[in-house]
Amino acid sequence: MGFLKPTVPLGYPMVTRGTVTPALTDHLPANNTFLAIDTVVGSFDPNEKHVIPAKGLTHTEILAGRSLNYTILFQNTGTYEADRVRITDHLDTALNWSTLRLIASSHTVTSFQLLPGGLLEILFDNIALPDSNANEAESHGFATFSIQRNKAYSPIYQVKNKAAIYFDFNDPIITNTVSTELATTTVSTHEPKKPRADQDVLWISPNHHHEYSNV
């Protein structure tokens, strides 16, 4: 029995192949294999956080002032329309707070400010966000902001942060923690060996993987 990687997105096509090898004489060998095509299903949290580039920034990109783009996704899964959505995010000290700026949002942002201690606050007042039972398509929202890393950095330091999402006056929903490392480029100096003419070549069909990306 096999298990899927947790990074495989919901709805991704899944192909399963099976073969049966009988111990006795088989009178109908044509039915010894099967092929099943399905899609990946499962539960998920609609309130989450992503960063681009997911692999992080290289030393050169940091020195050049390239930004990290963070997107916070939220959805009203309650039982009534939300009048106000408040998002808070403690920014890591490895980030250059002076470069913080709002990039995009699903609804009008009434306040975008950096509070003392590096606490980013994003407010959606009078958002009138319907609940998912009443209108699933309109129950979603997002906010995207960009920020640069400090040019003085440690190669082993990971930038970590997560967001808290408040719907009206309810307790906050905490997103996943996003961890961004320093990206490195690996260059191979070894030339691949060529097979001799008298060697058999085994062809292997690769497994395709898909990464989820959404804004």
Output the pLDDT for position 157.
80
Output the pLDDT for position 55.
86
Number of residues written out for the chain? 215
Output the pLDDT for position 125.
98
Output the pLDDT for position 153.
67
Residue 76 sits at the vertex; the CA angle it makes with 128 and 215, to the nearest 5 degrees, is 95
Output the pLDDT for position 214.
44
User: Please, are residues 73 and 49 in contact by the beta-carbon 8 Å criterion?
Assistant: yes
| CA count, 13 A, side-chain hemisphere, 84 | 12
Output the pLDDT for position 162.
93
- 85 Cα distance to chain centroid: 22
> Could you give the domains of the chain?
48-180 (2.60.40.740)
Tell me the chain's radius of gyration from C-alpha atoms: 24
Output the pLDDT for position 37.
52
Q: How does pLDDT run along the chain (215 residues), one tens digit per residue?
A: 455 554 455 455 656 666 777 766 766 666 566 555 554 444 345 899 999 998 888 888 988 999 999 999 999 999 999 999 999 999 999 999 999 999 999 999 999 999 999 999 999 999 999 999 999 999 999 999 999 999 886 756 888 889 999 999 999 999 999 988 877 654 444 444 444 544 444 343 444 444 444 43
Output the pLDDT for position 28.
64
Output the pLDDT for position 145.
97
| pTM exceeds 0.75 for this model | no
Please return the burial class of 60, using the count of CB atoms within 10 Å of its CB with bins 0-12, 13-18 and 19+. exposed
